[in-house]
Structure 1
Amino acid sequence: MKHLHPLAVAAAALLLAPAAHAQAKLNIPQASPAVRVRQAFSTSFIELNYSRPSLRGRVAFGGLVPYGQVWRTGANAVTTIRFGEEVKVAGQAVPAGTYALLAIPGKTDWTFVLNRDTAQWGAYAYRPGLDVLRVPAKAAPLAAPQETMSLTLENLRPAAADLVLAWDHAAVTLPLTADPDRLVLKQIAAAMKGEKKPYMAAAQYYYNSGQDLTPALGWLDEYIKAHPAEYSGYYWKAKLLQKQGKNAEAIAAANQSLALVKDDKNEVAKAEYTRLNQAVLAAAGAKK
């Protein structure tokens, strides 16, 4: 009788083992937890997808992450950044889309890279020919070491934000800017050709972004014509007139708003618009 090799017997036994002997899957903490950050920015958004490595007793830059070499800017799959509209990264224009965010660390001087290959694992298959841009950045020391790497959007403004990488003893900032005025003004121009014209929202945007207030006042007149009993239209007209230095007209519009708001049964709204109109009156120099 032919004898089977012991290894073959063992392998056959494993194949024939009952399903009950299969090992259960364990849910354990990830060594480098995955993160997805989506932040409203300008007229759209910025989205980051990355994994956060930790020090665990190691040195990050110049150790775990060598100086002068392309790094995935995180762990596991390459970090990606998605822009919902055209932005400028450190002053260089980048179209809307998703990009691999790579970095080349140095002791003080860094380089950030946007690359078209968003499917690479790590930076092992990095191809410089797919770079969209390379921009320099400076590393600043952290007062206390940070155990786990982070990518955050800081100093958020309507048209700008800072992408900040922090880990170990270093923080590196990459400035991002947008041009929301160009996009919003195009939206307003297109919307004003339609049936549902956004008179109020357009006038408010012109006021808040420092645009020419002449067309905005015309839009508010159209809004008031359609909503003669609504006090908010007169209030915003008063604000725009006061900003133009037309104080007498601003006072008249604010007083009209106050006369209408007296009939509002919502006490919270009544108190708020009373306060707002009184502020316009004070700015316009109305006598008490």
Structure 2
Amino acid sequence: MFAVSLPTSLYSPSLMKPLLTLCLAGSLCWLGAAELQAQQLRLPAMSPTVRTRQDFSTSFIELTYARPSKRGREVFGKLVPNGEVWRTGANSSTRIRFGEEVKFGGQVVPAGTYALFTIPDPKEWTFILNKDTSQWGAYDYRPELDLLRVKAKPRASNTAMESFSLGLENLQPEAAELTLRWDKVRVSVPIVADPDARIMAQIQEAMQGDKKPYFAAAQYYYSTGKDINQAISWLDESIKKQPSYYAYYWKGKMLQKAERKTEAAEAARQSLALVKNEKNAPTREEYTRLNEQLLKEVGGKKK
């Protein structure tokens, strides 16, 4: 026989019976107690998981990845070998999800979720979208499941980034750059959406219904350079239903684009008259400033 000193945190009636049973097996007693202790610990993640969802175009882009840190190590060429497929982060392979069809580095990608792998190289990186999203690391990577590969030029940064980072930069309504940063390396791939056909179909269908999106459709036509007279016509319909200072301001901007300056000035003055009743001071001040700037640009005067 031999005596075993049980850890204080495990010394409870509910645990005594299983632990004493293990004691009969000699060294298994301490191993079992240590394992139970470990299960109670919550330690900081060495490579914490990041999940981000960014509104993009008419849908979204989601990223799920783990962020390793340098911790005094040499990253590219040592910790992450050049010329080999990398999970692009830590732990499970990185995943990217597109809510609609996009072009990734100039190549068409259907909506869906993909594993994102890379092949680092001092002169030219390779970004890979792979259909197998359930992998741990890149140990079971299969190139036959690649959807595409695109090349990207890395850029050197003056400041070393301690933790790996992956995100969307230079975000525009229909374009962005997927940018990887770690240590002194920065590398990006362009992502471009083309939702115009879908939006135009939505507008056409909505205009047949009872609730016609006059204001939203007018703004889309204005921002994308489509028929400006049609946009003004829709905005007039919106104003008939609900006159507002913001609708008159946008009507003024559209009339300015159509080079109808006298009408643009009149729309700005109507907007100024209505915005005086706005209770929110910052909003009132902003639209006052915007309309005064519009009047200045079209050569109009306040009344």
Is 1:191 equivalent to 2:200 in the alignment? no
Report percent identity of matched pairs: 57
Greater mean alpha carbon deviation, residues 93-102 or residues 45-54 = 45-54
Q: Given the alignment, which residue of 208, 213, 234 partners 2:248?
A: 234
Does residue 266 (structure 1) correspond to residue 279 (structure 2)? The answer is: yes
Task: Indicate which of 122, 133, 157 corresponds to 2:137.
Answer: 122
1:284 and 2:298 correspond: yes
Pairing of 1:95-174 with structure 2 (within 5 A): 95-174=110-189
The correspondence for 2:66, drawn from 32, 46, 51, is 51
Moved more, 88-97 or 39-48: 39-48
Gap regions ≥5 residues in structure 2: 1-21
Retained in 1: the 8 A contact 2:105–2:191? yes
| One-letter code aligned to 1:51 | A
Deviates further, 105-114 or 168-177: 168-177
- Structure 1 residue 277, shift from structure 2 partner: 2.5
What is the TM-score when the length of structure 2 is the normalising length?
0.83
* Contact kept? 1:108, 1:140, Cα under 8 Å: no
Is 1:216 the counterpart of 2:246? The answer is no
Whole-angstrom CA distance in 1 between matches of 2:164 and 2:49: 11
Aligned residues of 1:51 and 1:75 also touching (Cα < 8 A): yes
Aligned to 1:181: 196
Q: Secondary structure at the match of 2:150?
A: strand
Count of matched residue positions in the alignment of Structure 1 and Structure 2: 279
Could you tell me which amino acid in structure 1 is paired with residue 182 of structure 2? W
TM-score by length of 1: 0.87
State the secondary structure of the residue aligned to 2:91: coil
Identify unmatched segments of 5+ residues in structure 1: 1-7
What SS does the corresponding residue of 2:154 show, helix, strand or coil?
strand
**Cα pair 2:245 2:275 within 8 Å, conserved:** yes
Q: 1:253 to 1:49 in 2, by over 3 A?
A: same
Q: Give the aligned partner of residue 14 of structure 2.
A: none
Q: Secondary structure, in 3 states, of the residue corresponding to 1:206? A: helix
2:219 & 2:133 partners in 1: Cα distance? Answer: 39
- Give the CA deviation at 1:261: 4.0
The more displaced of 252-261 and 165-174 is 252-261
Runs of 4+ in 1 over 4 A off after TM superposition: 12-21
C-alpha distance in structure 2 between counterparts of 1:37 and 1:141, whole Å? 25
Q: Which of 97, 113, 118 is equivalent to 1:82?
A: 97
User: 1:72 aligns to what?
Assistant: 87
